[in-house]
Amino acid sequence: MAGTIETLAEHGCFGGVQGFYRHASAACGGAMRFAAFVPAAGRERRLPVLFYLAGLTCTEETFTIKAGAQRVAAELGMIVVMPDTSPREPQLPGDRDAWDFGQGAGFYVDATQAPWSANYRMFSYVTEELPALIDAHFPTDPARRGVFGHSMGGHGALVTALRRPDVFRSCSAFAPISAPMDCPWGHKALGNYLGPDRSAWAAYDASALMRARPFAREILVDQGLADKFLAEQLKPELLEAAAAASGQALTLRRHAGYDHGYYFIQSFVADHLAHHARQLGQM
């Protein structure tokens, strides 16, 4: 049964409402925040809903403020939900010691190692608890639900779609961590959250998952070629190879001059919303 939500702020935006909310999370064992944009069309009918998963150091405010997605979402008639990237309470030992692990870096996994396993259950949160909460409180159509994200959140979007196609019917990503089993960010997060057994890591590696069982619909990925993390951390070529091996329909676009930041996301966010709108029957 979905719980209650607390409204922190709501603002008129392109005829709809941009809101910020908080709720008690059973999955994460404490309060969690999220943002949600509901266009004017939501006053009349149920709409498709997109979940945006943000990257390292980000919060529910990052994409909401920086991406400029609300105008396009209003035109397409799509709800967009932006969860936080990790639990924030209770504070755990060492969870603020590094920018790429702990708070702001939940990596969208269900941790199995102490002390993280009691609270860092972001996979369950974004695939089960949060969708149920959103469906209970907003005018969504649960049969038309998509997921997208950036960097760590791009990894999260790919993994959640590949593992839970019953929950998410469309998927895209900006500069995702495509193969966390093969990069330093992934080694740090998966090793600490899941332990040293690399066989457990494969459940959260998009390239490994895609090789085993492709997503039923085309996935869109955009990657900037001026991204300083491209070679060491992101490795889109491994995702491309996995798609070729499994027959996954993948459009991977590489863009000269674009880096890892939100100017890159602003430039292509309309394409991503249109991709989801087509797949969810809004275009």
Residue 186 · residue 165 · CB < 8 Å = no
For 179, the token pair is: 């193969």
Strand 170-174's sheet: what is its strand order? 6-13, 16-25, 30-38, 79-83, 47-53, 140-150, 170-174, 219-224, 250-255
CA distance 84 to 186: 19
29's tokens: 């064992």
Three-state SS string across 40-101, please?
A: HHHHCCCEEEEEEECCCCCCHHHHHHHCCCHHHHHHHCCEEEEECCCCCCCCCCCCCCECCE
Q: Among residues 139, 123, 171, 122, which one has the least CA distance to residue 48? A: 139
The DSSP code for 126 is I
The reply to whether 86 belongs to the active site is: no
Closest CA to 10 of 50, 37, 47, 46: 37
Which is the catalytic residue, given 25, 227, 272, 276?
227
For residue 9, report the phi and psi dihedrals to the nearest 5 degrees. -165, 150
260: annotated active-site residue: yes
CA angle 8, 13, 14 (to 5 degrees): 160
- Out of 151, 170, 178, 207, pick the active-site residue: 151
- Catalytic: 207? no
Exactly one of 23, 260, 272, 276 is catalytic; name it. Answer: 260
Point out the residues that are catalytic. Answer: 151, 227, 260
